[in-house]
Amino acid sequence: MKLDKDVEILDGLPLLYIRSLSAMVCSDLHLGYEGVMANRGVFLPKANLKRIKEIIKKGVGICHPKILIVNGDIKNEFSEVHVEEFNEFREFANFLKADAKIERLILIKGNHDNFIDRLKEPLGFEMHSQEVLMGKYLFFHGEELPRHGDDAFLVMGHVHPSISIYNKTGPKEKLQCFLYGTDRKGRKIIVIPAMNFFADGFSVNTERNIGKLAPIFAKDLDIDGMEAFCIGEGEILDFGDIGSLHNIEV
């Protein structure tokens, strides 16, 4: 699904493609998640990295990018680099080079990405703290306000957006989505859903206080005015603006 001449949401995938940069963008991978969870007593079978590889492979097959931008939270643990995280990170970096033929891996540091600087050399990636401006696009993770790019196209992650639809006859249903709109400064902005297998998302049409989660919503951006592009099976579906979806029941 094309947003404009340069920007496209890949059909049925949590991936954005920017033609002028030859870059595919994803967000919130939380690699090593299962290992970290196992340390806390939830013994999840490993599935995250496997699924992420499949998605990247599909995306690469469609747009053949040179660059992969991970828009924050490539790993999960705040306080350290867990051994499981390191193992998966290394496997992921190798996969990008060998199988996906990605030339550059660019990382925006998210709130979960502490202590990864020292992996830069051995694993071979570029890293930016909080945000980076590339062409007219400002990539920022989202737990802080963007500092630059007053007339840039903003690309954000962090909130794991999804919408919930209440059902008269059953439980509510949750769909992962991109959020697309314009902020009060007139900048275009897109929020990318999480690629993590275990994240079912923050429900933007029923939960309150998204401003606490990402300050841009408290300041420059009205969530109600944003459009939800949900990820269907092999396609992207436009569910209209969040304002009309408050507690929607079908």
Residue 46 is classified by DSSP as S
Interface with another protein (CB under 8 A), residue from 20, 94, 129, 244:
244
| 235 in contact with another protein (CB under 8 A) | yes
Q: How far is the CB of 77 from another protein (least distance, A)?
A: 13
| 42 in contact with another protein (CB under 8 A) | yes
Q: How far is the CB of 142 from another protein (least distance, A)?
A: 21
Three-state DSSP class for residue 243: helix
Q: How far is the CB of 46 from another protein (least distance, A)?
A: 6
| 232 in contact with another protein (CB under 8 A) | yes
69, 109 in Cβ contact below 8 A?
no
- Cα 151–chain centre separation: 22
Cα–Cα distance measured from residue 42 to residue 64, given in angstroms and rounded to the nearest whole number:
37
Interface with another protein (CB under 8 A), residue from 118, 121, 169, 186:
169
# residues contacting another protein (CB under 8 A): 45
Give DSSP secondary structure letters for 116-130: -GGGHHHHT-EEEES
Cα–Cα distance measured from residue 24 to residue 58, given in angstroms and rounded to the nearest whole number:
12
How would you write 206-220 as a 3-class SS string?
Answer: CCCCHHHHCCHHHHC
- Interface residues with another protein (CB under 8 A) are 34-35, 37-47, 50, 84, 87, 165-167, 169-173, 175, 197-198, 200, 206-208, 230, 232-235, 237, 239-240, 244-245, 247-250
